[in-house]
Amino acid sequence: DDSFTTFFNETITGKHVPRAVMVDLEPTVVDEVRAGTFRELFHPEQLITGKEDAANNYARGHYTIGKESIDMVLDRVR
């Protein structure tokens, strides 16, 4: 069914995972997903985190810290 494959990918082990990329510059929240109840739901390569957050500062997130992660994020989206 095409509608199913639109929203899910099948892994080599036959598991279906959502076609979603989770990105956060600060790792705490995404680490909770990695270790929590729903850890089996997401592919680990689709959970992308930085090492520090932008401290609610758009310019810092856009021009410095976020700029370091953008290539990896774009590769995952492709």
Closest CA to 78 of 40, 21, 39: 21
Put simply, whether the predicted model's pTM sits higher than 0.85 gets the answer: no
Residue ranges, the chain, pLDDT below 50:
none
Calpha distance 25→14 (Å, rounded): 31
Q: 34-55, pLDDT tens digit by residue?
A: 999 988 888 888 899 888 888 8
